[in-house]
A and B are shown apart, each in its own frame.
Chain A
Amino acid sequence: MLEIKNLKAGVEGKDILKGVNLTINAGEVHAIMGPNGSGKSTLAQVLAGREAFDVAKGSVTYKGQDLLELAPEVRVREGLFLAFQYPVEIPGVNTTYFLRAAVNAVHEHHGDAALNAVDFLKLMREKIQLLQLDESLLKRSVNEGFSGGEKKRAEILQMALLNPTMAVLDETDSGLDIDALKIVANGVNTLKRTDNAQLVITHYQRLLDYIVPDFVHVLFDGRIVKSGGKELAHELEEKGYDWITNGELQTA
């Protein structure tokens, strides 16, 4: 589904990703862990199409297409969704209005009929329960004044509405208390199917107790330095990132 080959990217002349290789197949859940500054969020932003990052080398193939050639909006319409680490506040844009525009942009892309207000509300009510969000949020401006936990849950609500085939979750667990984390994880798990895939980027092993990955990769200094099964996450938790930064894995 997603094949990243020797991806090198940076921002303002600074190299951040220095040759990332990763293949994700349908039905799989992958986790990327790594210390601060290892390039985790850059990878997420490059996949979503953030123009501030320059791709110097490498390729990303998504469902047989050259992903890097696609505009950000086309990527998400084609099913590649990024849950933001820091969801953006947009004062004055009503959340319901925004979500409906997003859902209908995806529908239109696939030649499906746009949802009318009534059908959309029905869909949204169903999804909002999954994330245990208060309906009053829908009347407010996008992310404005939301608590940290509400913002992260709202990201997963958007994921539920857009129903992606390849979801990238960028530190969706950061700043969440354990109850909110369980709600988010439950939401993500509910959306898992055999024909879609998830890439979970996290700093903490804790999330992976609730979203159980098939594969764990360690990103360090712009490269994936170790890959393994879910037990790798536990190993990291025990030994800490020093285990990697001390150079023991550099040869891996």
Chain B
Amino acid sequence: MVAPANNAVDRLLAALPTRAEGGARFAELGFPTTRDEDWRFTSVAPIAELDFTAAEADASASLKGCVFSEIEGPQLVFVNGHFSSELSNVSELPAGVEIGNIAAKAFESAEGEGAFGALNAASYSDGAFVRVADDVSFETPIRVYYLSTGSDGATANIRNHFTIGANSKATILESWTGTDGAYFNNIITELAAGDNAQVEHVKFQDESTAAFHVAGLRAEMGRDSRVAHHSIALGGRIARNNIRARLDGTGIEAVLNGLYLPRGKQLIDHHMVVDHLQPHCDSHEYFNGILDDHARAVFHGRIHVHKGADKTDAKQTNKNLLLSDNATVNTKPQLEIYADDVKCTHGATIGQMNAEQIFYLRARGLDEESARRMIMHAFAGEIIARIGCTLAREELDKLVWDRLESTES
């Protein structure tokens, strides 16, 4: 039975603690359909069909087997969207660094984009809070773990606030993992980088392949800031990342770097809009995907160079490697340019293994299987190599490699 969409909205709002205003907006918008241009390739009907419940805290959850365990320092842990003070550790922070959960802070209920944004604004209960004051270089990576143990339909709305002050530096590592259920995480992350700030934000998403993950990242950048966002997306039955970067200052360098490896019947969707509002900014988007089985991936990348954003240097590439004839990629790079003297490039490729590369490796003694693996590793490695945090990079490189190996067998 497919429930009508408006019914799904009512059921969802009834299941969750809701702020009236956002709830009304979500009810008005309803779940998007594939008639909506921004959701053309991603049907969220399977989410609307869930039997929604509010995800509950679970004291039995543990960090066993999670990534970034070699890294020491502060960590925040959320279980089914609820802050776990037992598993978190935010002691011994230097002056100017605040790390915690947002429920403990007072916030204006910020709006979110589209229906999922409205739902989040209406119902979010908690999320990570990081504030680094001006002129603080915090070298220790800040780890945030989101564990999901919910059963089918368990819904969590999570909102993160990351604010890195002027001339400051921080690295934030997110890990999203879960047990087998068809739970639903709806996330909004607000990232603000001050003038001349340097921020690295790694999001490792390895949710259950039955789960639904819809995440919005809104990045606001000050002049001369350098922000790198890395999206390593492995999990989810449907995983959608809405990434919005506003380059509203001169001299900004933004890197959006992503790798997705869907298999089985997974769908992984990255939907990006980069707005260049001021001159002399660079934005680079690099997204590689390796797809197997009946998997699908969507890449939508729009670069909008506004009037006056002269000398913009914007580059966008999306490369896809299909390991199966049944895998599908929809890629849609878009450039809108209203400024002068800009350098903008975009390109997308979708292909099988390159036969010339495989022959070259075989002609050097590697068997065909090793050659295929070496090329596949390279395809993934190209993205992972851009992660600056060494420990995170090395661990993710190995983890992704192990995952690809298991895909092959």
Which residues of A does B touch, CB under 8 Å?
48-52, 71-73, 75-77, 82, 84, 87-88, 90-93, 98, 101-103, 105-106, 109, 141, 158, 162
Contact = CB atoms under 8 A, between A and B. Distances in A.
A59 B363 CA distance: 20
Given A50-B359, A88-B356, A102 B365 contact: yes
A245 B355 CA distance: 34
9 contacts: A48-B363, A49-B362, A72-B362, A73-B368, A76-B364, A77-B365, A82-B363, A90-B357, A101-B370
A75 to B, nearest CB: 8
B364 A90 contact: no
Contact of B363 (A49, A92, A103): A49
Interface string B359-376: 111111111101000110
Most buried by A among B365, B368, B370, B382: B365
Contact of A158 (B359, B364, B379): B364
B378 interface: yes
Contacts of B374: 90, 93, 98, 101
Given A90-B361, A91-B378, 13 more contacts: A72-B363, A82-B363, A90-B357, A90-B360, A90-B378, A91-B382, A92-B382, A98-B361, A98-B374, A101-B365, A101-B370, A102-B365, A105-B365
Contact of B365 (A52, A76, A92, A141): A76
B165 interface: no
A141 B360 CA distance: 14
B366 A102 contact: yes
A73 B362 contact: yes
A102 B364 contact: yes
B377 interface: yes
B126 to A, nearest CB: 39
B156 to A, nearest CB: 36
A198 B139 CA distance: 56
A88 B366 CA distance: 15
B30 interface: no
Nearest to B288: A92
B381 interface: yes
B136 to A, nearest CB: 34
Contacts of B360: 84, 87-88, 90
A92 B364 contact: no
A72 B358 CA distance: 11
A95 to B, nearest CB: 11
Contact of A162 (B365, B375, B379, B382): B365
A91 B356 CA distance: 13
